Structure 1
Amino acid sequence: MAVPVIAVLLTFFLTRKLPDLYLAQTDLSTGIIDPSQQVLGNTDAVIQESKVSQQFSNLLQTIRLGKVTDQVSYSLILHDLTSKKPFRAKSTLLQQLNANALAHAIKVFTYKYQHHEPLDLTNQDEAGLQSVLEAQKYDAESIKKELTVYRTDNSDFVHLDFTSEQPQLSAFVLNTLCKEFIAYTITEQQKNKGHANQFLEKLVKQKLDAMNEKVAALKNYKIQNHILDLKGQSTSIYAQLIEYQDRKAQAEKDILSYNSAIANINSRFNPNDRRYLEASTVRINGLIAQTKDRLAAINSKYIQNNFDARYKKSSDSLQNVLDTQISQMSDQYVANPLAGKESLVQEKVKMEITRDMARSGLKNLDNHVNQLNHQLDRIVPFDAAIQSYERDIEVASKEYIDVQNKYNQSSIESDVKSTLKQIEVAMPGTKQPSKKLLLTLLSGVLSAVFCLMVLFILYYLDSTIRMPLELANAAQLPVLGQLNLIVKSGIDFKRIGNSKQSTNELQQFKNLLRSIRYEIDSELQADKPFNGEAEGRILAITSMNEAEGKSLVCMSLASAYAMANKKVLVVDGNFDNPSITKAAIDNAYLEDFLRDEEAVIQLQNSSLICVMGNRGGEQSLLEKSSEKIIQDRFNQLKKNFDVIIIETQALSLMNKAKEWIQFADKVIAVFEANQSITPNKQLYLNYLHTLSSKFIGMVMNKVVISKGLEVQEV
């Protein structure tokens, strides 16, 4: 509890002189997503949220830009230096400046403000002025620290907050910041738009020149190749070609038809008829042949001149002459015996004339078709070149129009005023709830949580064994009980049952000792051989290390057995540290007992406890006598005592302890509380595991427990 209390008191004294804070607020309208403020663009188009977010993000960063906050810093320091009511008291650094230095500072700050320049920190003089700003907490970083800027939900507005110890100061900072931000943004936009207009104007001229070059190239190509209207010309030639091909096909069809009809008529005359007809029509046939030749010539000119109407009249006139001559030839057949076939003769003559005319026209049609095909073949390369020129002109025109549109749009936008504006002027800030109490409580809570975390970590990492249950879990061995720590000195543990020594902690010790004695006695009597003779049992008491309380446990157990009217022999087997021997008054020595076969250990006076000490030294038990003698002497002692308690050396001297343990019936180990099990101790525990049923369990010594402890089975 001390740490949280100290933290609360310390926080209270540190925060009691904190000034009150005042919050001023204002909003900016951006016009980014407000269609009513958009001069150009499709207002029905869906605005991409990612683009809008990016624009707002750029806007928020611009507000916190150094060029903007520097202007606010200059305005604040100039106000405090020139006004009779400064926002803040002069700092120590500012008070040290004389009149000339103050005038110089005002001059430099005014110049920087008017020219929108930052202080040059590489210049010693301007670096000193920066220190003045920092001392007054008017520098950019101090302003940004108390400034909050964010977009209001998904609206078109940007909200600004500023907190300071003066309400007028909070309002002044926000109003100045908005003014400088809007001015900076408008200036940068106009500058960028001016550069864009200059670039686009230059680009428009380049695209126009490129388009004019393409048009001039097409014009020169047409002049050089005598092309007026290639598309119309090719269309006309193609139409004529189709018409002449149709006429040619019709003429070929007519010739075949007339040949077939003439052959059919000839088959109806015999040779004599044909000779008569040919002889009678020689003269008229000559005239008809001449007329046919003239008609063929006229028709040829008619075809060659694209069916000119003038030649059509001449052709019709000659056709009438030809018809008259054919009629005259028919009149000569009246007195002829072949007059019945005059219609066939007349029809034949007409067919021959028409066929001959068709043959003559077919040749002209072939020539004209070939001529038209030749003209088309000549036009095709020109058409491909002209299409290439026209395609280049189309691309150049599109580029020119696109750039021209962008230039027009940029010109209009450069004339449009900025959509940024401050919605309402920031008023002097409102007083904020004091954070002193909150900080005080928070310090107490955080310190308490910190302490709990530290305690938890220490508890989690602490492997110290303090209670019997922890020892049983760690050692995986039975625990017979515990003995509490006795602070009072001068207690005779050999007479621990004497009521004159009774205290609260000693009474608690006696209760715990009885429980341990009962558990040990139960184990000693459980495997006692039944041979009809009363015989004592040997109990060896060892420990992990020295000074864990073996001597205390030995003498206390001896006293407990004496209280139960048992004759007890305590053998001090710790040759390295014979503390029991030193504490005893009348001692019999182990070395004498082992050498003298006639030696007898007996109880003295009315005492039920007898102590056998040793003379010390580095020797072990088997070095003092043979195993057979030792066993015989212990068998003799068993007949005289109910319980023989041996304090062995610690298991840290494993070989010496083992020699005592091999002569014992049961073994217990003393473990001092408030220590952990190290790797070496784990080896000792493994040895105790190997003793199996010979090992009764462990006794936990020096346990710090409550006064009202109840004995519980572990």
Structure 2
Amino acid sequence: MDLLQIFRTLKKRLWIIILVPLLTAGIAYFFLKDAAETYKSSTQVATGFTIKDRVQLQEERVSTWEIELKFGNLIETFKSPLVVGLLSYRLILNDLQEPNPFRSMEEDEDFKEYFTQEELQNAAQIFQDKLDSLQILSAYNPKERKLIDLLKYYGYDYGSLSGGLSVQRVNYSDYIAIEFASENPKLSAFAVNTLVEEYQHYHDRMRGVRSNESMEFFTNLVTEKKKVLDEKRDLLRSFQSDSRLYNVETEGEAKVTRIAALEEEKQNEESRLMGLELQLRSINRQLAELQRGGENGGNARILELQNSIDRLNSANIGSNNPAIQDSIALLREKLKLEIARGDLGTTNAQARVERLQEEREQTMLDIQVARQRVGTLGNELARMSYAKSDLAAKRSTIKELEREVELAATEYQSAQEKFNAAKNSFMVDAGSVRQIIYGQPAIEPEPSKAPIFIGLIGMVSMVLCVMVILLVDYVDLSLKTAANLEKQTKIPVAGTLNHINAANLDLYDLFHNTHKDEGLEMFKHLLRKLRYELEETGKQVFLFTSTKQGEGKSFVIMTLAYSLSLLHKRVLIIDTNFKHNTLTESLLAKPQKTRLLNGYMANGKLLLTDGRSDEGRKQAATAAAEAEEGATAEAHTEGQLMSDEQDNYSFISPTHHTNIDIIGSHVTLASPAEVLSGKGFSSLMKELKHHYDYIFMEGASLNDYSDTKELFRYAERVVPVFSAHSVLKQMDKESVRYLRELNGNLMGSVLNKVEFENLKL
């Protein structure tokens, strides 16, 4: 839909666009003309959200989003049902108890019948209790539901008060403006000031409740954490006392040092024991050798000592054991003595035996003492190792208990800090919202907004009308214009005819006079254009058809035939629409007394006479037969059937228009093929072409009948007629597909009944 079409659519329905807004504006004026005057009072409160003029416990960095959130929360609190409900309690108590009420119901008989004086007194007490306890009325309580009805009578319910209340932030400032409008200036001022008071009342109560809850919570938290800390400390002290372990680190280091010393001492004692045992074996061998006597014995002793020294040297390689080194030194001394003794001979053998025996006894004693010492040291090491293991377990337990004590101390300190912060916050935050401008009764009423509302209602109704009109036009799928017809059918448009009132149409007056009606003049012009297109085809026989009934085929045929008669063209109309013989009914004065196309036959053939003399008719028939030389035998025979006996029968009837004749028909269920087949209609058409310049036939609708398809063989061109008011449905599209398949035999479509405004679209 382009702009031009939109403009013409709106222009066509301009009366609706004007009438509907005027009507709605008039209705609005009727309801608003007696509207009561309103008085508005306003107050301002400072929030302190954007000004840092109060004590701060810590540096606060507030973002713009947080500020907007705080303002939103504050505004919603002012407008909340609870705060507005507290205002309604104050208002109703004023009207019920004060001598100068804002609103009075003394003259309202319905009110007096619904509420007794006793009920009003009880209601005042309930309202006061609700005000003191900061509670709202419950609609589920029958008594309180009646109190809600009382508020509605006075106009103090939440809905009524919210309608006149406005709470909003003043631009980007720190202030909030509160306005209230009513019919009483004192009521408006009282409402805005009381709303701020009740908000403060509600805020202080809620702040106190929240602060008490916070203080109680943190007090309990501190007490609990302190109790846990004391329990952990007592458990640690009890474990240290039971295990007699107070300094884990010191006692652990002492035990480790003691174990190391014992291990070193045991190792030394074991080395000494080994040396003593070697020494004992050496003494025993020396005694055995001396008892055998002789020099051989001394040499054997020297060899034995030498071998012992060699074995000890081999054992001492890489270890440097002090005990082994002492044994080696001792054996070397003995070796020297043996060598010296060897020089003395055997004179001192007895003395050596005695000495060796003394050494053996001493050595055996030393070995016994050393073994006892090694056993004692082993027992001491075992005891110290067990004590060390037990100490590690106790040390782990003490470390765990100390960690639990440290964690409990941290939690207790954190709880103490939160408790102090809550206490400080309660002492600092005394409420930042404060009233800076008090509401005053208005001196003059507010300017009436009735004209604005009336104009707005008119504008809205106009816009709605325009939208509805355009929507209806957009969803209208009718053809409307030639462009739409060609787009939907893919058939070229041969001509268009605008919609006129055909009931009283006088064709003679139409073409011979000038009319003030633009529609009639346009119709005459478009009909001439269609006549030109028809003449340009160079054909004589035209079949007019349509996809459905009521498209205007008969009207197009009659008007087109008349326009051709003005050019002195002879036109014959054959009414072959056997389902709706509109042409016959319109052009024949007495069709029931006229021989019709499907009503009379002579010898089974259709006969033609034109009212001339017998000789003239015979000559015409002979000339027609000669002209049709080479035609079928049937055509020749039909030409020979003209006889004197048949001259009295004629199917052609003149109309009341000059040069326009008609062959009528009556309504029948038979199809054209059933009526005309075998009756020489082809020969008749050939002969008629010699007498008439144009022959127009009409076929029944393609959607309903096959008449057009059966008549197509007799026509030279097919002219489909469409109505601009029609909508092409599926059956129409199938009929259009058939018409497109006619190829060169299709002249082009005619769009009939086009609205005058759509002719240029």
AA in 2 matched with 1:135: Y
Shift of 1:461: 0.5
Deviates more, 1:553-562 or 1:81-90: 81-90
**1:357-436 correspondence runs (5 A):** 375-415=387-427, 418-428=430-440, 434-436=448-450
Instruction: Decide whether the 8 Å contact of 2:597 with 2:664 is kept in 1.
Output: yes
Change (3 A) 1:274 1:95: farther
Partners in 2 of 1:542 and 1:250 — Cα distance?
Answer: 139
Change (3 A) 1:412 1:32: farther
In structure 2, the residue matched to 1:11 is 28
Instruction: Decide whether the 8 Å contact of 1:22 with 1:170 is kept in 2.
Output: yes
User: What is the DSSP-based 3-state SS (H/G/I as helix, E as strand, rest coil) of the residue aligned with 2:496?
Assistant: strand
In structure 2, the residue matched to 1:133 is 151
User: What is the DSSP-based 3-state SS (H/G/I as helix, E as strand, rest coil) of the residue aligned with 2:541?
Assistant: strand
Shift of 1:668: 1.3
Change (3 A) 1:34 1:167: farther
User: What is the DSSP-based 3-state SS (H/G/I as helix, E as strand, rest coil) of the residue aligned with 1:684?
Assistant: helix
Partners in 1 of 2:70 and 2:523 — Cα distance?
Answer: 81
Shift of 1:359: 14
Partners in 1 of 2:488 and 2:606 — Cα distance?
Answer: 46
Shift of 1:416: 5.0
Change (3 A) 1:503 1:658: farther
**1:486-505 correspondence runs (5 A):** 486-487=500-501, 489-491=503-505, 493=507, 499=512, 504=517
Instruction: Decide whether the 8 Å contact of 1:30 with 1:419 is kept in 2.
Output: no
Instruction: Decide whether the 8 Å contact of 1:149 with 1:158 is kept in 2.
Output: no
Instruction: Decide whether the 8 Å contact of 2:578 with 2:700 is kept in 1.
Output: yes
In structure 2, the residue matched to 1:637 is 688
In structure 2, the residue matched to 1:670 is 721
**1:275-314 correspondence runs (5 A):** none
In structure 2, the residue matched to 1:531 is none
1:543 maps onto 2:558 in alignment:
no
In structure 1, the residue matched to 2:134 is 116
AA in 2 matched with 1:512: L
In structure 1, the residue matched to 2:476 is 462
In structure 1, the residue matched to 2:622 is none
> Which of 82, 86, 97 in structure 2 is aligned with 1:82?
97
Change (3 A) 1:95 1:258: same
In structure 1, the residue matched to 2:495 is 481
Q: TM-score scaled to structure 2, two decimals?
A: 0.69
In structure 1, the residue matched to 2:452 is 438
In structure 1, the residue matched to 2:176 is 159
Q: TM-score scaled to structure 1, two decimals?
A: 0.73
1:590 maps onto 2:602 in alignment:
no
Shift of 1:563: 1.9
AA in 2 matched with 1:427: G
1:176 maps onto 2:194 in alignment:
yes
Count of matched residue pairs: 627
1:73 maps onto 2:82 in alignment:
no
Shift of 1:467: 2.8
Partners in 2 of 1:631 and 1:50 — Cα distance?
Answer: 93
User: What is the DSSP-based 3-state SS (H/G/I as helix, E as strand, rest coil) of the residue aligned with 1:481?
Assistant: strand
In structure 1, the residue matched to 2:615 is none
- What do residues 301-360 of structure 1 show as CA deviations (whole Å, max 9, x unaligned)? xxxxxxxxxxxxxxxxxxxxxxxxxxxxxxxxxxxxxxxxxxxxxxxxxxxxxxxxx999
Shift of 1:627: 4.2
Change (3 A) 1:254 1:419: farther
Change (3 A) 1:58 1:268: farther
Shift of 1:45: 6.2
- Indicate the percent of aligned positions where both proteins have the same amino acid: 24
Instruction: Decide whether the 8 Å contact of 1:237 with 1:376 is kept in 2.
Output: yes
Instruction: Decide whether the 8 Å contact of 1:670 with 1:700 is kept in 2.
Output: yes
- What do residues 647-677 of structure 1 show as CA deviations (whole Å, max 9, x unaligned)? 3333345323333322111121232332222
AA in 1 matched with 2:498: N
AA in 1 matched with 2:27: L
Partners in 1 of 2:159 and 2:65 — Cα distance?
Answer: 30
**1:184-583 correspondence runs (5 A):** 184-238=202-256, 271-272=339-340, 375-415=387-427, 418-428=430-440, 434-487=448-501, 489-491=503-505, 493=507, 499=512, 504=517, 506-525=520-539, 537-582=540-585, 583=587
In structure 1, the residue matched to 2:10 is none
Shift of 1:685: 1.8
Instruction: Decide whether the 8 Å contact of 2:578 with 2:669 is kept in 1.
Output: yes
Shift of 1:688: 1.6
Instruction: Decide whether the 8 Å contact of 1:31 with 1:419 is kept in 2.
Output: no
Instruction: Decide whether the 8 Å contact of 2:608 with 2:684 is kept in 1.
Output: no
In structure 2, the residue matched to 1:332 is none
Shift of 1:422: 0.9
Change (3 A) 1:686 1:202: closer
In structure 2, the residue matched to 1:655 is 706
AA in 1 matched with 2:551: E
In structure 2, the residue matched to 1:20 is 38
Change (3 A) 1:498 1:160: closer
Partners in 1 of 2:407 and 2:526 — Cα distance?
Answer: 109
AA in 2 matched with 1:164: A
Partners in 2 of 1:457 and 1:192 — Cα distance?
Answer: 59
Tell me, which stretches of 5 or more residues in structure 1 are unaligned? Answer: 283-288, 290-357, 526-536
1:44 maps onto 2:59 in alignment:
yes
Shift of 1:600: 1.9
Shift of 1:519: 0.7
User: What is the DSSP-based 3-state SS (H/G/I as helix, E as strand, rest coil) of the residue aligned with 1:639?
Assistant: coil
- What do residues 15-70 of structure 1 show as CA deviations (whole Å, max 9, x unaligned)? 3425335251322436799484334xxx1365688887777666555444444332
Change (3 A) 1:661 1:418: same
Partners in 2 of 1:95 and 1:497 — Cα distance?
Answer: 79
AA in 1 matched with 2:95: D
Instruction: Decide whether the 8 Å contact of 2:218 with 2:418 is kept in 1.
Output: yes
AA in 2 matched with 1:77: I
Change (3 A) 1:359 1:672: closer
User: What is the DSSP-based 3-state SS (H/G/I as helix, E as strand, rest coil) of the residue aligned with 2:680?
Assistant: helix
Instruction: Decide whether the 8 Å contact of 1:66 with 1:140 is kept in 2.
Output: yes
In structure 1, the residue matched to 2:610 is 601
AA in 2 matched with 1:422: R
Change (3 A) 1:379 1:482: closer
Shift of 1:696: 0.8
Shift of 1:3: 1.5
Change (3 A) 1:178 1:390: same
Change (3 A) 1:438 1:243: farther
- What do residues 257-313 of structure 1 show as CA deviations (whole Å, max 9, x unaligned)? 87788889999999549999x9xxx9xxxxxx9xxxxxxxxxxxxxxxxxxxxxxxx
Shift of 1:13: 3.7
1:695 maps onto 2:704 in alignment:
no
AA in 2 matched with 1:70: G
Change (3 A) 1:662 1:503: farther
Partners in 2 of 1:378 and 1:112 — Cα distance?
Answer: 72
